[in-house]
């Protein structure tokens, strides 16, 4: 009855399902949660404010094909996303850039340091903090120390429970020092929000006669992985299966759980127009939470009465009921464990692993949509 089964209805699952459906395949999506959209899921809270239930998701991309594909299902509210860090009560632009430099140093020093940075790295360059710290020029070292101490160290300790040295350098490299006056958090060509939200965008994507979505369905109730066969509702299933869930869970965490960071989101509503006057403030030297997002500034819903914010508290995922694995912790040991599970998939050549959980990777939305488009292309051939 179905040609393909997709496990999980987030950005990865919805994209691959749509593309396969358009290629004439009958696709069944099994989603554990009671809603579509995965961690991009957004909805109106009881005060009428559009919130992101699983933390702020800002879309940004340079990929024309990704932007074109998503634009079939939504219009956009595009803006240049900006973030500030609260450093002992002072708000400074993040990523650290030349505006930040001039904010934290006196004019003469900042002018001198700006020249040195441009000479060393070139105007417009993006320098990961861990690279900047390797520079032996004492003046550059001074900047690196400031940025490390005031922007990265404490925030990273809160977010990962480890120092910037201990985590994958690609993670801190996501927010490089910018040798430019660009205050935007991302430098991508397109950035912003689906105009009416992510959930309607994915709902439209899933609206296709060849797609069936079953919510609140644990795939393990329908699929049985035998030695080298897969049963669907008790019968052999030989079509493609796209799995976007956590890989260890597929094998009952037989070799142990894959470590993740989880998040606790504390939402608060205020009967006032504005709470912080901007979308995101990172708390990089104080507080137990990492950042505060004020949704109306993120979604552009400026006409709503009152305002809703969310504070994010990070903690180590244990797998307990109700916890959600958000961030894979990429290191050698965890990769080796992941590989043990991935090796088990060799018995199932028609199962494809896709997304943050299934691939145990730190993906942005656009990157996973891109990967899903490519996978659909491979499968339909």
What is the contact surface with ligand UDP in residues (CB under 6 A)? Answer: 85, 94, 151-152, 155-156, 159-160, 171-172, 174-175, 282, 284
* 41/341 with CB nearer ligand UDP: 41
Select 244 or 284, whichever has its Cβ closest to ligand UDP: 284
**Unique residue bearing structure tokens 């002992």:** 88
Q: Which is nearer to ligand UDP, 144 or 211 (CB)?
A: 144
Least CB distance to ligand UDP at residue 158 (A): 9
For residues 351 and 104, give the distance between their C-alpha atoms in angstroms, rounded to a whole number. Answer: 52
The least CB distance from residue 141 to ligand UDP, in Å, is: 19
| Residues facing 266 on adjacent strands | 311
Q: What are phi and psi of 211, to 5 degrees?
A: -110, 130
Give, for 129, the enclosing helix (H) or strand (E): helix 129-132
The phi and psi torsions of 368 (rounded to 5 degrees) equal -75, -35
> How near is the Cβ of 253 to ligand UDP at its closest, in Å?
25
Nearer to ligand UDP, 85 or 213 (CB): 85
Q: How far is the CB of 238 from ligand UDP (least distance, A)?
A: 38
CB 213 within 8 A of CB 35: no
- Indicate the SS3 state at residue 356: coil
**Looking at beta carbons, which pairs linking 157-161 to residues 24 or more positions away fall under 8 Å?**
158/288, 158/289, 158/290, 158/314, 159/261, 159/290, 159/314, 160/261, 160/314, 160/327, 160/329, 161/261, 161/314, 161/316
Are 3 and 376 in contact by the 8 Å Cβ rule? The answer is no
Residue (237 or 289) nearer to ligand UDP, CB? 289
CB of 254 to ligand UDP, least distance (A): 29
Residue-wise over 85-119: b if at least 16 C-beta within 10 A, else e? bbbeeebbbbbbbbbbbbebbeeeebeebbeebee
In 37-121, at which residue ranges do the beta strands (DSSP E only) sit? 42-44, 50-52, 59-61, 76-78, 83-87, 90-94
Beta carbon nearer to ligand UDP, 61 or 210:
61
* 27-30 and 211-214 beta bridge pairing: parallel
CB of 81 to ligand UDP, least distance (A): 10
Closer Cβ to ligand UDP, 174 or 189, answer by number: 174
Shortest Å, Cβ 83 to ligand UDP:
7
In whole angstroms, the minimum distance from the beta carbon of 56 to ligand UDP comes to 7
Choose between 97 and 159: whose C-beta lies nearer to ligand UDP.
Answer: 159
Contact 14, 208 (CB under 8 A): no
- What the block records as the tokens of 30 is 């099994």
């Amino acid at each position: 009855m179905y040609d393909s089964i997709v496990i999980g209805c987030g950005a990865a699952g919805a994209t691959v399902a749509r593309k396969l459906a358009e290629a004439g395949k009958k696709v069944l999506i099994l989603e554990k949660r009671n809603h579509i959209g995965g961690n991009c899921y957004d909805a109106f809270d009881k005060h009428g404010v559009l919130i992101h239930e699983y933390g702020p998701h800002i879309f940004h991309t340079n990929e024309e094909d990704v932007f074109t594909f998503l634009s079939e299902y939504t219009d956009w509210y595009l803006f240049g996303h900006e973030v500030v860090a609260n450093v002992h009560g002072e708000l400074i632009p993040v990523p650290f850039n030349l505006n930040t430099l001039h904010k934290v140093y006196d004019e003469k020093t900042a002018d001198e340091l700006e020249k040195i940075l441009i000479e060393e790295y070139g105007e417009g360059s993006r320098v990961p903090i861990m690279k900047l710290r390797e520079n032996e020029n004492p003046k550059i070292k001074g900047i690196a120390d400031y940025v490390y101490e005031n922007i990265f160290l404490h925030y990273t300790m809160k977010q990962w429970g480890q120092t910037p040295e201990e985590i994958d350098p690609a993670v801190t490299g996501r927010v490089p020092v910018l040798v430019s006056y660009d205050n935007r958090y991302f430098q991508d060509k397109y950035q912003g929000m689906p105009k009416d939200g992510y959930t309607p965008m994915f709902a439209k994507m899933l609206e296709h006669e060849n797609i069936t979505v079953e919510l609140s369905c644990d795939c393990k109730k329908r699929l049985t992985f035998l030695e080298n066969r897969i049963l669907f509702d008790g019968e052999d299933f030989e079509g493609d299966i796209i799995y976007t869930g956590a890989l260890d869970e597929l094998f009952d965490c037989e070799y142990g759980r894959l470590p993740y960071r989880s998040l606790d989101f504390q939402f608060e509503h205020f009967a006032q127009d504005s709470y912080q006057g901007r979308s995101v403030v990172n708390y990089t030297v104080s507080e137990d939470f990492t950042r505060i997002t004020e949704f109306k500034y993120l979604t552009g819903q400026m006409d709503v009465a009152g305002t809703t914010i969310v504070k994010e508290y990070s903690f180590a995922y244990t797998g307990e009921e109700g916890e959600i694995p958000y961030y894979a912790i990429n290191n050698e040991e965890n990769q080796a464990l992941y590989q043990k599970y991935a090796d088990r998939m060799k018995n199932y050549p028609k199962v494809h692993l896709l997304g943050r959980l299934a691939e145990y990777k730190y993906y942005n939305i656009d990157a996973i949509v891109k990967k899903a488009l490519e996978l659909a292309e491979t499968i339909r051939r």
